[in-house]
Structure 1
């Protein structure tokens, strides 16, 4: 389709110039550049879709954690409700393993520091796995325009050499080969733009997932450090709806001190 767009403006009586003719004139270099750009494009879309699948899987796991995990009596009971390969279960398992390991340490290390370091390593491992492949997208976005430009330069060079060998040439003899050589630059841009957009989008989603993992890891740390006394409070809809009613039931008599935000009520 792209080649048809480039060839759409050619008049009916023009010489037979086209994308495939340009590749054949460019020789092995033009075909190599095209192959590299195709590999970059296919690799970019493959990473985009696989990373979206991985991210959505962890987002769904976070919803399950908020719904059922903290209603359990213990971390082991809550972990049993999660998928075996869940990222959140990995954090819980690593935290429980660190708690058992701390009892075996001979050096005096505070339990909080040991648990915090273990949970931080678990978080970093998950985030590193999520970020795998994004460097390829960044590389494609940064280099594919220059790869296409290299193909263009080679194509123009070959066209000018042929024109110089032929002696005097009309504008039609020059415009065709040079214009076809510029197609490689356009292909490089077509490959680069989706890669850059995919990289920025995936990075933003990874940042949101990392924030959720960090919050969950902090909750697990508080649970372990307090022997289960500290756990996140899950506000229900009935509780949230009852708060405004309770506030409205307490009338404030008297006047407030002028000039104070939320001033102290005074008796008349």
Structure 2
């Protein structure tokens, strides 16, 4: 009975709260650092998750309107009315503006040098780079948290074990119950580090894959958009948008020619 009472007392006096109260400045600093890393990663996860969901919905809506439009003037009107709120409409707005600008002013500056096709190509490339940079924002933080949080937690564990062994050595009591408790408490920091790192790594991989898929779709759309603006036809428009027939593609090209 006395043994059971003693074990219960040890369990009650040990744990996370006891570990924090016994930690020194280094241990508490590491814990605060892990909490900040967790808060930052979750803020990025929630923010980018919502942004990705909205971007997907808006992109699908714009692409549906784009491939079912009769002329590029209708696309321009849609962008002017509702704004460019997704990567595809953003790319289309800049490409259409580049075409109209070059047709009006020609190559009056070095930034506009070359043919209309070359100027549109440079504009599309610039927008693609901007969208890639925007998509990758925050991923470096997630990767850093996922890679370093376990080591920060491990450092806290090593530091806690070191101080626990020092205290045990000074007390002169080397029994199992005196060693297992402090060492077990020190392992809490490793658990916290893993709890911080795992969501960050999973989210990083998910966002990276989503960005890669979107970049592929955006590159394909950029090629077709460039063909529409320069040649009057989209080589793979029928594959990318099954609902668009050849008449619509020719009508879009005719609209482009008329607006130029």
Per the normalisation by structure 2, the TM-score is 0.80
CA drift of 1:99 comes to: 2.0
Q: Which runs of 4+ in 1 moved over 6 A?
A: none
Is residue 127 of structure 2 the alignment partner of residue 93 of structure 1?
A: no
Give CA deviations for 1:71-115 in whole Å, capped at 9, x if unaligned. 324334213324313222211121123224434314651332221
1:134 to 139, 142, 155: 139
Structure 2 regions of 5+ residues with no counterpart?
1-5, 247-260
- Give the secondary-structure state (helix, strand or coil) at the position aligned to 2:228: helix
Give CA deviations for 1:131-168 in whole Å, capped at 9, x if unaligned. 10011110011000000011111111111111122224
Structure 1 regions of 5+ residues with no counterpart?
1-9, 240-268
Higher relative contact order (CA 8 A, sep 6+): 2
Contact 1:137 1:196 in 2 (8 A): yes
Is residue 34 of structure 2 the alignment partner of residue 37 of structure 1?
A: yes
1:14 to 3, 10, 13: 10
Counterpart Cα distance in 2 of 1:208 and 1:37: 32
CA drift of 1:12 comes to: 2.1
Contact 1:48 1:198 in 2 (8 A): yes
RMSD: 2.4
Higher helix share: 2
Aligned residue in 2 for 1:161: 166
Counterpart Cα distance in 2 of 1:191 and 1:119: 39
Per the normalisation by structure 1, the TM-score is 0.77
Aligned residue in 1 for 2:57: 60
**Higher Rg:** 1
Give CA deviations for 1:164-217 in whole Å, capped at 9, x if unaligned. 222243221111111100110111111111111110011111111111211221
Contact 1:145 1:189 in 2 (8 A): yes
CA drift of 1:220 comes to: 1.4
Aligned residue in 1 for 2:252: none
